[in-house]
Structure 1
Amino acid sequence: MKKISEFSLIFFFLVVSVVLAPSNQTTNTINQFSLEFYKETANKNTGKSLILSPLSAEVLLGLLSTGARGDTQKEISDALHLPDSEIIKSTFQTTMRKLSNIQGVVLNIANKVYVKDGEAFKLDPVFKSVAVDQFSSDVENIDFSKATRAANTINEWVESKTNNKIKDFVSPDIFDENTRIMLVNAIYFQGNWENPFDKRSVQKTKFKKNKIDKVEVDIMYQTDDFPYANLPEWNSEILALPYKNNDTYLAIILPRKVDGLAALEEKLYGANMVNIINKMRKTEVHVGIPKFKIESTIDLKHVLPELGIKLIFNKQKADLHNLLKNPEQLFVSDAKQKAFIEVNEHGTEAGVVTGFFNKNCSIKKQKLRVVADSARIDEEYFTADHPFFYMLMNKDDIIFCGKYIGD
């Protein structure tokens, strides 16, 4: 009987603010996945603040799809709303190039493929070519049987790519004699606000978690010109806080009602976020937003199947036979995401790592479109003192998103 093997897929993210963008015809479809990814994750993480990175998940799902076949590959393509593997490869190749050309902030992105040492475990040549040429991945042979050494090697790489923000990414007990491949994506971002908040503006303020419960938080205040729009169809308003290069920004969608976040989240599913962003116009806004830190750990085995990605977890039916030159029956045994975000007076910093564990089993710099060529309107007040949804974006593209409810 053919031996069944494992393919552990683990997402770990340490986040704080981010940026990147494919400004092409696929923007709406990628954003659609991002919002669906958020919605399903939020449904399974109620009652607490949340941070996640659809983009880092998309990158490795895209890479994984190039090693998949048949219905397994189709499920990933359908979930990403990209019709086939060729479109997936070209989309993420464009994304990787654009990431490397962002100006005004620190943004480093790296992919790595670790493959079990030995002649019997070479990567499929086509998969290796796609990983290197279109996903900008490095490839390294590693002896997974020496688990402690392997874990140390991978953790050192992760720390080096995330400015030491993510430590102990993997533990030795992840690896055994069946481990074949590990795919890793790491992103590090650091950016300062275009308009920093004065530390003296920070005030202790009651944050209304719901109609009854309140908690004291530090809220930062300032008045300046920001992209802003009222969203009556969502009973909400949206504000963008740009970073210094003006292409990257934190967008906050604030419900008018204290208990309006759940209704807003329902509106997000299937929304055209590009249209929402384009509604913003530069105006004087009296801004108040909380300083916050959020950490999230998410079991994606409960999220990805809700998005239609099921077969990769099936021991008998997963078809990932294009990963290795000598194919073996592989499946995804684990999928997790860990994230961290901090927002303060100066800006944000982010580190993201995504890992898939496989066992035998130049762009012209532009100003933010919503800021340019827009007439000034009357001043507005935007005080985020109750639960809200936020997105870390580059131009029109969602990189990280989540919710803050005051915990």
Structure 2
Amino acid sequence: MKPNPSHFQNDPTEAKMSIFLFFILAVAIATPKKPDLKNIQDYGFSATLYKELGKDCHNFVISPLLVETAFAALYLGSSGKTAEEIRTVFHLPPKTGIEHKYKTLIPQLTNPGYTLNIANRVSLAQKYKFVPTWETQIKNIFEVCADLLDMTNKNAAAEKVNKWFRDKTNNKIDKMVSADALTSETALLLLSSLYFQGNWDQQFSVSSTRKQTFYNHGKQQVSVDMMSASARSVNYGKSDLLNAQFLEIPLEKRHASMVVVLPDQLDGIYQLETKISEILNFRDFCPGTVNIWLPKFRMDSTFNIDKILQQLGVKDAFDETKAQFSGTVSCADCHSPYIGKVTQKTYLQINERGVEAAAGQVVHVRVPLSGGRKQFKADHPFLFYIKIKEVVVFIGRVSAF
């Protein structure tokens, strides 16, 4: 899904500032291990974001965590109705609780067995200045690096931003922003990157990968590269209420995993998605040996999610006449900045070795074998989410190849 980018018009009567938010992902995998983290991230925003994207996309992957943390940082510099809308939509605590939440959350996402790099950066146009309190807060809580960006040379400024993303994502995201996207109104770019790479706890054998059938949209048969393995000690679950099966595939050291949710019916994905909150809270897993069939695939997603966030209730932040972000940056002849654009790019690769980049997974469950072993074959549309402990890092859907 690639919605039309936002357009900004200059008003000659007053100086304006706009904030661009760019997210880049190369992420994946996680697992619920320690319930003490359960209340750190509310699943409400993940569920509502998934529902909105699902209306217009077939295949997609997105990181609710990256969107949330960026807005949490802006929340600290906001006030009035702008602050209240952000707090409500993202299920954030009062400002006094932001530091505890994120300084507790972020360090616990790093564990042995996978590579997870989260980087945040604020690039400020040279004619603007940080509000000292906000600058201190975002550096302390979110470990944000800050620098100045020369907007008089838009090509050089864009390349500086894009190089930062390439460096932080192992060259998986090449071009995040174009020179044309940087206007005279651009006050700051809030950049967030998240790179994830991990190997399966039990890797698939390349020699076992075969061409098999996948039902695009639950109907059309196509041939895909299907990995297969008999995996021990993986978590399997079945819900008659949701009419779906769940499989949690761990990565090395088992601190992270991918949960794949497969509807019982070939075309049951859209009915299943109406209960996304219940899906994210499903915990009725049992460990055992499962025969798994999982497609190999790569996925690239690009989203301009301005309109989606406004539909969810973040409205004033995008309105140059109503936004209240005076606690972030300032200049001599400027009004409060407003958010001009929110863009997220994701990259995901699933293969026999493991997962690299920005979330994604395929799985399918069948009737248990008589000997008690489960069959999980991802041969029709499914959804997935990647969790580290109890934190949803990525969420997405695979409908067709």
* TM exceeding 0.5: yes
Within the alignment, does 1:233 sit opposite 2:241 as a pair? Answer: yes
In structure 1, the partner of 2:389 is 395
Change (3 A) 1:20 1:250: closer
Residues 85-109 of structure 1 deviation map (CA, whole Å, 9 limit, x = unaligned): 222332222222223x321211111
1:197 equivalent in alignment to 2:204: yes
Q: How does 1:241-280 map to 2 (within 5 A)?
A: 241-268=249-276, 270-271=277-278, 273-274=280-281, 276=282, 278-280=283-285
The range that moved more, 281-290 or 165-174, is 165-174
Q: 1:149 to 1:351 in 2, by over 3 A?
A: farther
User: What SS class does the counterpart of residue 216 from structure 1 fall into?
Assistant: strand
Q: Who is 2:152 aligned against?
A: 145
Contact kept, 8 Å, 2:201 with 2:254, in 1: the verdict is yes
TM-score, normalising length from structure 2? 0.87
Structure 2 gaps of 5+ residues are 1-11, 360-370
1:237-260 CA-partner distances (Å, limit 9, x unpaired):
100111102010111000000011
Residue 309 of structure 1 pairs with residue 320 of structure 2: no
Aligned residue for 2:61? 51
Pairing 1:111–2:120 present: yes
Q: Is the 8 A contact 2:21 2:189 kept in 1?
A: no
TM-superposed CA distance for 1:401, in Å, is 0.9
In the alignment, what sits opposite 1:363?
A: none
Q: 1:177 corresponds to which residue?
A: 184
Q: Paired residue for 1:132?
A: 139
Query: Which structure 2 residues correspond to residues 372-387 of structure 1 after superposition, within 5 A?
Result: 378-387=372-381
Could you tell me which of 7, 11, 20 is aligned with 1:9? Answer: 20
Alignment-derived partner of residue 357 in structure 1 = none
165-174 or 67-76, larger mean C-alpha shift: 165-174
Conserved? CA contact 2:19–2:337, under 8 Å = no
Who is 1:102 aligned against? 111
Structure 1 residues 231 and 140, CA gap change in structure 2 (3 angstroms)? same
Deviation at 1:346, TM superposition (A): 0.4
What displacement does 1:14 show? 4.0
What secondary structure, in the 3-state scheme, does the structure 2 residue paired with 1:335 have?
Answer: strand
25 and 221 in structure 1: CA distance in 2 versus 1, 3 angstrom threshold: closer
Amino acid at match of 1:207: F
Aligned to 1:188: 195
Instruction: Tell me the equivalent position of 2:100.
Output: 90
Structure 1 CA distance for aligned equivalents of residues 220 and 343 of structure 2? 31
1:37 and 2:49 aligned: yes
- CA root-mean-square deviation: 2.2
Distance 2:196 2:86 in 1: 27
State the Cα distance separating 1:340 from its structure 2 match. Answer: 1.9
Do residues 76 (structure 1) and 86 (structure 2) align? yes
Shift of 1:27: 3.4
1:68-88 CA-to-partner distances (Å, cap 9, x unmatched) read: 111101111101112322223
- CA distance, structure 2, for counterparts of residue 211 and residue 103 of structure 1: 38
- Secondary structure of the corresponding residue to residue 74 of structure 1: helix
| 1:122–1:325 CA contact under 8 A, matched in 2 | yes
For 1:329 and 1:3, the matched residues in 2 are separated by 11
**CA 1:285–1:273: 2 relative to 1, 3 Å:** same
Q: Distance in 1 between matches of 2:129 and 2:82?
A: 22
SS at match of 2:236: strand
Partner of 2:367: none
Distance 1:16 1:207, change over 3 A: farther
Q: Once structures 1 and 2 are overlaid, which stretch shifts more, 253-262 or 393-402?
A: 393-402
Q: Which amino acid aligns with 1:107?
A: L
- 3-state SS of 1:401 partner: strand
- Residue 10 of structure 1 contacts residue 335 of structure 1 at CA under 8 Å; is this kept in 2? yes
Tell me how far apart the structure 2 counterparts of residues 3 and 310 of structure 1 sit (CA, whole Å): 22
Letter in 2 for 1:63: A
Q: CA deviation at 1:59?
A: 1.1
Conservation of the 8 A alpha-carbon contact between 2:123 and 2:148: yes
Structure 1 portions without partners, runs of 5+? 353-376
Relative to structure 2, which stretch is displaced further, 33-42 or 249-258?
Answer: 33-42
- What SS does the corresponding residue of 1:333 show, helix, strand or coil? strand
CA distance in 1 between counterparts of 2:198 and 2:100 reads: 28
Q: Which residue in the other structure is 2:168 paired with? A: 161
- Structure 2 residue matching 1:320: 3-state secondary structure: coil
TM-score by structure 1 length?
Answer: 0.86
Query: Deviation digits for residues 253-283 of structure 1, max 9, x if unmatched?
Result: 0000001100110011x33734x1x311101
Alpha-carbon distance in 1 for matches of 2:294, 2:256: 18
